[in-house]
Amino acid sequence: MQLALAIAVGLLPLLASLAAARRWRLAREIPPLRLLLVVSSTLALAWLCEFAELGLWAWTGLSIVAGPGKESEALLAMFLFAAPLEEGAKVLGVWPFYRARRLIDVRHALVFSALAGVGFAAGKASAVVLLNEASNVALVRALCCIVPHVISAVLWGATLGVRASTSRFALAWTLATLLRGGFDHIVFGRGPGVMILCVPLLLSMLGLAYAFARRSAAQQAAHTPVVGARSRRSRSSGLWSEPPSVRQIWRSLQHERQPLMVQWIGLGMLVTAGVGLCALALALYAGHAIGLDFAAADEADVRSNGPLLFLALAVGSAFPIAGYLVARASGTRSVLEPALGAALAVFGGVLFLSLTTPIAAIFALALAPIAFVLASGGAWFGIAR
């Protein structure tokens, strides 16, 4: 029964990718044998990585599970070994085609990297189900790890197209490893009661993957010869229609001659912290009014996800409000000051909570990428134009 369930979970991403390939015209332009080699090799590498991790944990006594007093060991095991090993294995499945110049443009690179993530996710999910005790928690963890593996592969895979830059690939790969490592730490290293905390990290990975893909597509369009530009555009108009780069978008939100107002970064940190505390207090009051028991929250209890989601929504709403207030008060033409103020507020909260309540620090870290984006969005509506 467990073997059949592992096979079914492993087939899920493969069947989903097959259905997507039939709808995506580009996949039919690539020889099927190459795509099959990418999927099969990364699937096998996923199983090898799983056995390598189990062997290392048995040899060293480490574990990715954050038991009592072992939070630091679990973080070291995840970020220094498990996450880099798994992300590197996916790169290994794509790298021969990159070296052989088979990734002729950004679209081909996205297809190859996405299929590398699909193959690795299939192997990882099936291994999680088969090598662990049969339980609903193991099944949920196996299903949760599928999408992040695909997104993280797309994040660095977008940099492997035409005119690939080693520095951009290194940055993208590092970001993918850190974010997916944090995701896996919440899903595999913590109890099922805090799995909801992985949602902000998943959204951050998705946003970064989209940003890197758009940036790479814009660079490719900039280097496309004028003679073939029309035919090039016609083939890719369904995917990329004159996409602006992330740097162009960022520059459009700033005033070139206005210096950075450091004092408003500090004030923005205080305003964000104040609004966040007010939102948290209101959430606690409203939660007690409707009968939520925050004191009963426990990592091992899946019912803890409800109160945590309620608090996350309340605290998350504070960042766009604080960003708007700081932007309006400062009269800035940039979203940078409110966003940096929000980042400093989150960083200070993480430092404080890491000394008192480690699980709350994990909560703050999971919220940090979304907080930066929300503060920037709120400041956008408040900047002087």
Report the alpha-carbon distance of residue 193 to residue 112 in Å, rounded.
35
Say yes or no: 279 and 211 in one domain.
no
By the 8 A CB rule, do 269 and 319 touch?
no
Q: Which two tokens stand for residue 15?
A: 């069947």
Residue 227 lies in a domain: no
Report the alpha-carbon distance of residue 27 to residue 153 in Å, rounded.
17
Torsion, Cα of 280, 283, 284, 285 (10° steps) = 120
Give the closest residue to 189 by CA, choosing from 309, 75, 85: 75
In the Cβ-directed half-sphere of 354, how many Cα atoms lie within 13 Å? 11
335 contacts: CB under 8 Å, gap ≥ 6: 253, 254, 323, 327, 375, 376, 379, 380, 383
Q: What is the 8-class DSSP label of residue 28?
A: G
By the 8 A CB rule, do 104 and 164 touch?
no
Domain end, chosen from 243, 278, 297, is at 243
Say yes or no: 285 and 313 in one domain.
yes
H helices of the chain, where? Answer: 2-23, 32-60, 71-77, 83-99, 106-130, 136-144, 146-157, 166-184, 198-222, 229-236, 246-252, 262-290, 305-330, 336-356, 358-382
Report the alpha-carbon distance of residue 86 to residue 79 in Å, rounded.
11
Query: Which contacts qualify for 280-288: CB closer than 8 Å, 24 or more apart?
Result: 280/311, 280/314, 280/315, 280/318, 282/314, 283/310, 283/311, 283/313, 283/314, 283/315, 284/311, 286/314, 287/311
Residue 70 lies in a domain: yes
Report the alpha-carbon distance of residue 342 to residue 368 in Å, rounded.
9
* Threshold 0.85, pTM exceeds: no
Number of folded domains that form the chain: 2
Say yes or no: 259 and 239 in one domain.
no
Q: Which two tokens stand for residue 320?
A: 């766009």
Q: Using DSSP, state whether 140 is helix, strand or coil.
A: helix
380 burial level (CB within 10 Å; 0-12, 13-18, 19+): middle
Residue 228 lies in a domain: no
Residue 155 lies in a domain: yes
Concatenated DSSP letters of 258-275: SPP-HHHHHHHHHHHHHH
Say yes or no: 273 and 334 in one domain.
yes
Q: Which two tokens stand for residue 361?
A: 């620090």
Q: Which run of H or E residues covers position 384?
A: none
In this predicted structure, what is the pLDDT of residue 259?
65
Q: In this prediction, what percent of the chain has a pLDDT beyond 90?
A: 22
In this predicted structure, what is the pLDDT of residue 249?
46
Q: Using DSSP, state whether 59 is helix, strand or coil.
A: helix
By the 8 A CB rule, do 211 and 155 touch?
no
Say yes or no: 74 and 176 in one domain.
yes
In this predicted structure, what is the pLDDT of residue 118?
94
Say yes or no: 111 and 37 in one domain.
yes
pLDDT digit string (tens) for the chain, length 385 residues: 788 888 899 888 888 888 777 666 655 677 888 888 999 999 999 999 999 999 999 998 888 887 777 777 888 899 999 999 999 999 999 999 888 887 877 888 888 999 999 999 999 999 999 988 878 888 999 999 999 999 999 999 988 875 556 678 888 899 899 889 989 988 998 888 778 878 888 888 888 888 888 877 777 776 655 444 444 444 444 444 444 444 544 554 455 556 667 787 888 888 888 898 898 889 888 888 887 776 666 666 666 677 777 877 888 888 889 888 888 887 777 777 777 788 788 777 777 766 666 666 666 666 777 777 788 778 878 775 5
Say yes or no: 184 and 319 in one domain.
no
Report the alpha-carbon distance of residue 124 to residue 128 in Å, rounded.
6
> Could you tell me the residue range of the domain that residue 127 belongs to?
2-222+234-243
Say yes or no: 188 and 330 in one domain.
no
Give the closest residue to 186 by CA, choosing from 57, 352, 348, 363: 363
Neighbours of 91 (CB within 10 A): 19
Report the alpha-carbon distance of residue 301 to residue 298 in Å, rounded.
5
In this predicted structure, what is the pLDDT of residue 304?
67
Say yes or no: 188 and 317 in one domain.
no
Say yes or no: 181 and 124 in one domain.
yes
In this predicted structure, what is the pLDDT of residue 61?
87
Question: How does pLDDT run across 123-179, given as a tens digit for each residue?
Answer: 999 999 998 887 888 899 999 999 999 999 999 998 887 555 667 888 889 989 988
Instruction: Give residue for tokens 């062997």.
Output: 55
Say yes or no: 19 and 136 in one domain.
yes
Domain end, chosen from 243, 274, 308, is at 243
Q: What is the 8-class DSSP label of residue 79?
A: I
Q: Which two tokens stand for residue 229?
A: 């530009």
Say yes or no: 110 and 188 in one domain.
yes
By the 8 A CB rule, do 347 and 364 touch?
no
Report the alpha-carbon distance of residue 84 to residue 87 in Å, rounded.
5
